[in-house]
Amino acid sequence: MTAAMRDFTNGTPMASDALELSWDACAAGDWDRHLAAAGLSALEQSWAYGEALAALEGCRVRRALVTRGDRPLAMVQAFEKHRFLPLAVVRILRGPLWLEPGLAPEGRQDVLRLVKRAFRLARRELLIWSPELAAGQESHALMRGCGTRRMVTGYSTLVLDLQRPAAELRAGLHGKWRNMLVAAEASGLSVRLAAGGRSFDWLVERAEAFRRRRGFIGMPGVLVQSVARAVPDKADVMVLTAHAGRDRVAGILLFAHGRTATYALAWTGAEGRRLRAHNLLLWRAVLELRERGLGWLDLGGVDAAAAPGVARFKLGLGGRLHTLAGTFI
């Protein structure tokens, strides 16, 4: 599929060049390479997440690159399922990801239109689209330019830039959060890092029980387990646990994808809360991610109304609030 291309510096058409949308042309290794090139990326656009959702929901995973000549501009993963035969429902979650830095709004508009034209109601395909675009008038105009309309307001997360020196990151912690970290560091807690295994099973079991009991909307345990099974490099499944003597008192799980890691779930018991174990675990995770050369930590959804305590805790790390444009059809 191709589309006329603009010169992004002056908006005029370029007759000699065109955008091309190529479906299912990437193997897992190529997809991961492009994901790393995207810089800040979403777990929902990773190969492992696609494989996990296909296994759990029986959906068809479609992956595409948008290119201009040999130059990739964007990548997008979509999930197609025949929920109401013969209508296919197609979901795009936090895509496309942008591969060309500084791509002008005219260029993004062309990419978005090309993706939108791949799915049409005339072919009995309903696209439900949550694009990786920041909330704001420009993004809403881009989506209107594709012929879509917003149905749901945007998801908000916190993103921590790990490319700064560790001392600067620590100085950026909110005062109360940093004081809790200092207390945890002095408490005698030890921290262990694992890539799956018994620590993973222990953490998922407790986090899922807590999620169900409290009615949280976070990643279900079954999805976490499915993503972990699909991750090619098991070192990208990062389980950090805090120990008071022989007892595990808290744990967190992160998935690394490209140059980004996503904070997927956590659990802290009463002793862990008393010793501020969660603060220590997240700070050690930040240091580990920096050591591995990752550039960003996506701390996951924040909802000050539904979960004010969680929102305050995540905000304490000093990250940037990242609110998406919304969900469109």
**DSSP assignment letter at 232:** S
Express each pLDDT in 271-298 by its tens digit: 999 999 999 999 999 999 999 999 999 9
Residue 15 has pLDDT above 50, yes or no: no
Express each pLDDT in 172-208 by its tens digit: 999 999 999 999 999 999 999 999 899 999 999 999 9
* Stated pTM of the model: 0.91
Q: How confident is the model at residue 121 (pLDDT cuts 50, 70, 90)?
A: confident
What is the Cα Rg of the chain in Å? 21
Give the phi and the psi of residue 217 in degrees, each rounded to 5. -100, 0
β-partners of residue 6 are: 13
Q: Is the peptide bond before 232 cis (omega within 30 degrees of 0)?
A: no
Express each pLDDT in 33-56 by its tens digit: 999 999 999 999 999 999 999 999
The rounded Cα 27 to chain-centroid distance in angstroms is 20
Mean per-residue pLDDT, 67-78: 95
Question: DSSP string of 40-105?
Answer: S--GGGSHHHHHHHHHHH-PEEEEEEEEETTEEEEEEEEEEEEEETTEEEEEEES-PEE-STT--H
How high does pLDDT run on average in the chain?
91
All domains of the chain in start order, with CATH: 2-148 (3.40.630.30), 158-324 (3.40.630.30)
